Each structure stands twice: as C-alpha cells, then as structure tokens.
Amino acid sequence: MANAADQRSVRKAKQRERQERDHELNDLRDVLSTRQGRRFVWKLLGMAGCFRLSFVYGEAETTAFNEGRRSLGLALMADVHEADAEKYVQMANEANGEARTKEDEPEPAESLTEERDNA
C-alpha cells in the first residue's frame, strides 16, 4: 500500500496500477484477436443482458439482480472498447452474420423423410 504522504510511493503505486491495467487490456486484446475469443466475449455480453432491458415490472428484486449482472457486462463492454474498439465492431458484425446464417439454414431433414415415406 502506498504512503499518501510520500510522493515517490504514490508515483510507484500509480505506475504499478497502470502496468496492471495494460496487462489486463493486452490479455483482452489476445482474446479478441481470434474469432473464437470474440464469439465467447459476445456470448458473455449477451448473457449479462447488455442487449436487453433489465427491468421486470413489479419485481424489484429481479430487476436489481438483472442490473447487477448487466453492470458486469457493461464493464466488460467498456474494457473491450478501451482495448480495441474496432474489434468490438468486428465482433458485432460476426455475431450478426452468424445470426443471419442460422436464420437462412433449412429446416431439419424431417420433411425429406416424410416426402420419401409418402412416395
């Protein structure tokens, strides 16, 4: 712990905090550098409720719980933006592309089986 009365100690503590933060952001950049890492972070943001309302009418406790979870997600989102804002855009585009691809996929092959049985 830094001695607030000692300028040198305060400077060292601030430098140590900056180094730790740089290390955290570099770790996050490594995760965001892969498609798998971006997909995982996007999943966490979604699970945290970053893309939906947390309010539940008449349920203050549930709303508070949802807000706590969302707060963690928003902190992660802020870290992503600080680490590399362009990777956030890339991650969102990839997630939207995957969602569209899933919508475009044909239904399971049940209909093919039914057609063959009816023939």
- Tens-place pLDDT, residues 24-51: 999 999 999 999 999 999 999 999 999 9
**87 within some domain:** yes
**Per-residue confidence (pLDDT) for residue 36, from 0 to 100:** 97
Expressed as residue numbers, the domain containing 58 is 8-102
**114 within some domain:** no
**2 within some domain:** no
Give the Cα-Cα-Cα angle 46, 56, 78 (nearest 5 degrees). Answer: 35
Tokens representing 3 are 């001695």
**72 within some domain:** yes
Number of domains the chain contains: 1
Give a three-class secondary structure readout of the chain. CCCCCCHHHHHHHHHHHHHHHHHHHHHHHHHHCCHHHHHHHHHHHHHCCCCCCCCCCCCHHHHHHHHHHHHHHHHHHHHHHHHHHHHHHHHHHHHHHHHHHHHHCCCCCHHHHHHHHHC
**115 within some domain:** no
**Per-residue confidence (pLDDT) for residue 28, from 0 to 100:** 98
Tell me the pTM.
Answer: 0.75
Per-residue pLDDT tens for 63-115? 999 999 999 999 999 999 999 999 999 999 999 987 777 666 655 555 444 54
Q: Which amino acid is at 85?
A: A
**84 within some domain:** yes
**98 within some domain:** yes
**85 within some domain:** yes
Cα dist from 30 to 20, 27, 53, 95, 98, whole Å = 15, 5, 30, 19, 22
